[in-house]
Chain A
Amino acid sequence: MNPLRPAFRYTPFVTGSLQSLLRYRSMFAISAVTAAASAAMMIFLWRAVHSSSPDGPPGGFDTAELTTYLLVAQILGLLHANRVDDEVSAEVYRGHVAAMLLKPVSYPAVRAFACLPVIGTNALFAGLPVLLLFALLVPLNVPRPVDALLFAVSAVLSAAVAYLVNLLVGMAAFVTTNTWGIRLMKQTVVAFFSGQMVPVGLMPDALAAVTRLLPFHTMVDSPLTLLLGRYDGVPGILGVLGLQLLWTAVMCAVAALVWRFAVRRLEVLGG
């Protein structure tokens, strides 16, 4: 039997999700405008802080580097907006998840495949325009090709962690109906501890130490460390990617455990 056959089984979820996405064209425009607005806010705020800093650039970031960091952090945010948390919590809340349990597929895997087009379209229709727009407006750091390649690998891992975080947040709907509050909380926590608002290198030591213990910094800070070449040779690269892989594996295990527990709990919402 073809070893890819099980994965092949999930391809209709990719096309199905793409089909329903393409019905909402205005969504991409809104995502792009939102990302551009918050990127502009972060960039101009930080540039103001930077230029008024008396003792040189903080944390060894020059202006172009910092601008690149903040812009790409926003674009990574678009890749993390995979809607898995919304979809899972809605399906659990409405009980549609029971229907998925009657199909010979793994629900977390279905969600993973279904979020691929979300990430792809976000990157293409929102991320790319924002990147081009800012490239015209502000000076950016042009990465070395090898760093760009490392960033691509790291960005994939960061998207995987984002999927797992959102899956866990979505599964919170098994225990509470206030999924909106939990999603809001997650957004704040992720925006801060991922390094999207403040690069981890610029955080006070204590806060940076806490941040490095959490999985979220692998979502933004890790890929940007590689993109900007702020690592120490090959061991540095392996350290960053290794940590990302480790967190991906840990979150995978946690999500699998929570999912198994949640399915047994489904009885309460069985209706």
Chain B
Amino acid sequence: MIVVENLVKEFRVPEREEGLSGSLRTLLTRRYRTVRAVDGVSFDIPAGSRTAYLGANGAGKSTTVKMLTGVMTPTSGHCLVNGLEPYRNRRRTARRIGVVFGQRSQLWWDLSVPDSFRILRRIHDIPDAVYQRNLRLFRELLDIDALATTAVRQLSLGQRMRAEIAASLLHDPEVLFWDEPTIGLDMVLQEAVRELVNRVNRELGTTVLLTSHDLADITSICDTALVVDHGRVIYQGRIDQLLSTAGQRCVIFEYRGGPSPEAVAAEVEHALPGTRVRLDGQRVRIDHPVGLLSSREVLSFLLERVDLTECYVPEPDLGTVLKELYTRNGHRGRAPGGAA
């Protein structure tokens, strides 16, 4: 559905010099520096998948999405969405994709949401049945009727995002590109948005490419992850497999009676080498490296030593795993965008 091959995007940015004398100099002679935002990225996203496009700030995510949606033309390489090169077939691509850029509105600033929808219905030639079905869905899940006839520019961020999300789905697109879709939404609406996209994916087989800094969005919407760092793909695969690559696991527990928490901590660190123990009141947290110990070993040790009342073995969190992944690829510390 989405094929990206050796995609490169370079920008020419003017070098600015410091201070007033520097500003005067740049007025006369301007030097440019080439910044490679996307560095030969290749990947392939099958139809019907829900993929999170992840990467630190400056990793080239939004640049790639802009090329995939046809807003930008790559410097070299190419990408195909639904068999079309988006920047060459902009209008034909636009009929088949739905886009949300959280930072930038897709709606008509001076018009109300129903008016904007009427325009979208016309320019996309949306059949009556599809239009009515989708409006019903948005009413039910996003409560879009509450936005009434207020002009889009007067809506709050959360209200506007609901309208943007609905607008991106109105024409039953085959591919959804969502960039930060849940900013400004409260918990209930975030949940509703996740349910909406999962429903559309299930019922219509819509392919979803999501970029978000909200890890809850990612884990509840997506099943696969594509991780880029400094313009290169460093991981592509299932999210649960990505999580299992975590180098550290932890066990959190509470207990009754027995030795003091400090004594338990000292004993654990001594008996299970490589572990680190942190105390939080009655609660004890043991971090242990995956290679040396399994959660089972840690647990059986605890069951013998103390009278457990509560115990949690959480799945490693995505944020930590991603941080590890970036560090392993040794790219940290270089300036984002890395001058070429």
Asked if A96 CB lies within 8 Å of chain B CBs, one says yes
A 186-210 binary contact with B (CB < 8 Å = 1; else 0): 0000000000000000000000000
> How many angstroms between the C-alpha atoms of A246 and B107 in the bound complex?
37
Asked if B103 CB lies within 8 Å of chain A CBs, one says yes
Kindly count the residue-residue contacts between A and B in the assembled complex, taking CB atoms under 8 Å apart.
74
Taking a contact as CB atoms under 8 Å apart, the answer to whether A267 and B11 are in contact is: yes
Q: Taking CB as reference atom, which chain B residue is nearest A17?
A: B110
Taking a contact as CB atoms under 8 Å apart, the answer to whether B119 and A13 are in contact is: yes
Taking a contact as CB atoms under 8 Å apart, the answer to whether A20 and B111 are in contact is: yes
Q: Taking CB as reference atom, which chain A residue is nearest B14?
A: A268
Residues of B within 8 A of A105 (CB): 91, 123
Asked if B115 CB lies within 8 Å of chain A CBs, one says yes
Taking a contact as CB atoms under 8 Å apart, the answer to whether A16 and B108 are in contact is: yes
Are A104 and B91 CB-contacts (below 8 A) given A16-B108, A271-B104? yes
Taking a contact as CB atoms under 8 Å apart, the answer to whether B122 and A11 are in contact is: yes
Taking a contact as CB atoms under 8 Å apart, the answer to whether B99 and A12 are in contact is: no
A 1-22 binary contact with B (CB < 8 Å = 1; else 0): 0000100111111001001100
Asked if A102 CB lies within 8 Å of chain B CBs, one says yes
A 60-90 binary contact with B (CB < 8 Å = 1; else 0): 0000000000000000000000000000000
Asked if B95 CB lies within 8 Å of chain A CBs, one says yes
> How many angstroms between the C-alpha atoms of A10 and B124 in the bound complex?
11
Interface residues of B in 71-98 (CB under 8 A from A): 71-73, 90-92, 94-95, 97
The smallest C-beta distance from A115 to any residue of chain B, in angstroms, reads 15
The smallest C-beta distance from A259 to any residue of chain B, in angstroms, reads 12
Are A95 and B104 CB-contacts (below 8 A) given A104-B91, A267-B11? yes
Taking a contact as CB atoms under 8 Å apart, the answer to whether A96 and B109 are in contact is: yes
Asked if A25 CB lies within 8 Å of chain B CBs, one says no
Are A266 and B122 CB-contacts (below 8 A) given A19-B111, A98-B104, A99-B104? no
**Residue positions of A touching B, CB distance < 8 A:** 5, 8-13, 16, 19-20, 23, 95-96, 98-99, 101-106, 264, 266-268, 270-271
**Given A96-B109, A102-B97, A266-B72; 19 other pairs, CB 8 A cutoff:** A5-B125, A9-B123, A12-B118, A12-B123, A13-B119, A23-B110, A96-B105, A98-B101, A98-B104, A99-B101, A101-B90, A102-B99, A104-B94, A267-B9, A267-B11, A268-B12, A270-B66, A270-B72, A271-B104
